[in-house]
C-alpha cells in the first residue's frame, strides 16, 4: 500500500545481544493538501516463546516467535494511544490466536489519514477566520477627537474572533466578539466523529442556546447526511458570519 514501508532494524536500546533485538519497523506516511506530513513509525519485536523453566531445564534458551509480534515502540501522538492499543489487542493477540499485521497497520494508517483530513479541513476555516479579522482603519486616527468611533467604522458589531482546534481535531471551539457589548459571551463547541462528521454541537450566548445558529453551522445539506462526514466543513466560515439571525437562504 502506498505510504507504508516495512523494514528491519536492530533495537538500539538493547543493553546486550539477544534474539529479541531484531525489530520489524513500519513507516507510515500520510498525505494531506498534496504533501506528505511527518512520517510515523511502528516498531514491533518478536513475541517471547521461551519455554517456562522446569527442573530438567531451569534456564531455557530464549526463543523469539517466528509468527507473532508485539508492539514495542512507536511515534504515534499520545492522544492516539488508546485506539492504537485497541488495534494492537485486536490484531496482534498472543499465541495461539492468529495475528493480522497487515490489517493492524492499515487500520492505524486509516485513523491517521482521517486525523490529517480533519485537521486540514478545519485549518482552512481557521486560516479564513484569522485572515479576515477586522482591522481598525488607521487612516481615521486624526479624526478620533471628532468621532469616538472613528477607528471602528469598518468593524462589524459581531464577528468570529477565535477558532480553536484541539490536537486530535475532534473538538472545535468558536468565539464571537461583540464590539459594542464585549461582556456578552457567544461560544460554540463542535465535537467531531473520527470521519469528521458532527457528533455534538452547541452554540450559547449568556448560557442560552442559539438553535438557529446551530442549524447555520450544520449547513443547508445536513438533512441529506452532510454532517455524517466532513462535507459540512467547506463554507463554514461564511456561515459563521451573522449578527442576530442567519440568512433566510440557509434554510
How far apart, in whole angstroms, are the C-alpha atoms of residue 168 and residue 149? 41
Lowest average pLDDT, out of 122-136, 204-218, 235-249, goes to 235-249
Q: How confident is the model at residue 250 (pLDDT cuts 50, 70, 90)?
A: very low
Q: What integer pLDDT is reported at residue 150 of this predicted model?
A: 46
Q: How confident is the model at residue 121 (pLDDT cuts 50, 70, 90)?
A: very high
Question: Within 10 Å of residue 15's Cβ, how many Cβ atoms?
Answer: 7
Q: What integer pLDDT is reported at residue 108 of this predicted model?
A: 97
Lowest average pLDDT, out of 46-50, 79-83, 95-99, goes to 46-50
Q: Hey, where are the domains in the chain?
A: 4-116, 155-250
pTM score, whole prediction: 0.81
pLDDT digits (tens, 9 = 90+) for 193-224: 999 999 999 999 888 999 988 998 998 888 77
Is pLDDT above 70 for 73? yes
Amino acid at each position: 500500500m502506498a505510504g507504508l514501508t516495512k523494514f528491519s532494524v536492530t533495537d538500539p536500546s538493547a543493553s546486550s545481544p539477544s534474539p529479541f533485538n531484531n525489530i520489524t519497523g513500519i513507516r507510515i506516511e500520510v498525505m494531506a493538501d498534496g504533501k506528505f506530513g511527518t512520517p510515523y513509525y511502528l516498531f514491533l519485536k518478536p513475541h517471547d516463546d521461551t519455554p517456562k523453566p522446569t527442573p530438567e531445564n531451569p534456564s531455557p534458551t530464549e526463543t523469539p516467535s517466528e509468527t507473532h509480534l508485539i508492539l514495542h515502540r512507536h511515534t504515534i501522538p499520545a492522544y492516539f494511544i488508546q485506539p492504537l492499543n485497541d488495534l494492537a489487542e485486536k490484531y496482534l493477540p498472543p499465541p495461539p490466536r492468529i495475528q493480522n499485521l497487515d490489517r493492524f497497520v492499515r487500520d492505524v494508517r486509516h485513523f491517521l489519514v482521517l486525523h490529517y483530513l480533519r485537521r486540514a479541513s478545519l485549518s482552512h476555516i481557521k486560516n479564513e477566520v484569522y485572515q479576515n479579522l477586522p482591522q481598525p482603519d488607521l487612516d481615521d486616527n486624526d479624526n478620533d477627537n471628532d468621532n469616538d468611533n472613528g477607528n471602528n467604522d469598518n468593524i462589524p458589531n459581531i464577528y468570529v474572533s477565535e477558532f480553536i482546534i484541539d490536537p486530535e481535531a475532534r473538538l472545535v471551539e468558536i468565539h464571537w466578539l461583540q464590539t459594542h457589548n464585549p461582556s456578552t459571551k457567544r461560544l460554540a463547541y463542535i465535537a467531531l466523529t473520527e470521519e469528521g462528521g458532527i457528533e455534538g454541537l452547541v452554540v450559547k450566548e449568556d448560557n442560552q442556546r442559539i438553535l438557529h445558529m446551530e442549524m447555520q453551522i450544520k449547513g443547508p445539506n445536513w438533512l441529506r447526511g452532510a454532517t455524517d462526514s466532513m462535507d459540512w466543513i467547506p463554507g463554514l466560515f461564511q456561515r459563521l458570519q451573522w449578527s442576530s439571525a442567519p440568512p433566510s437562504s440557509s434554510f
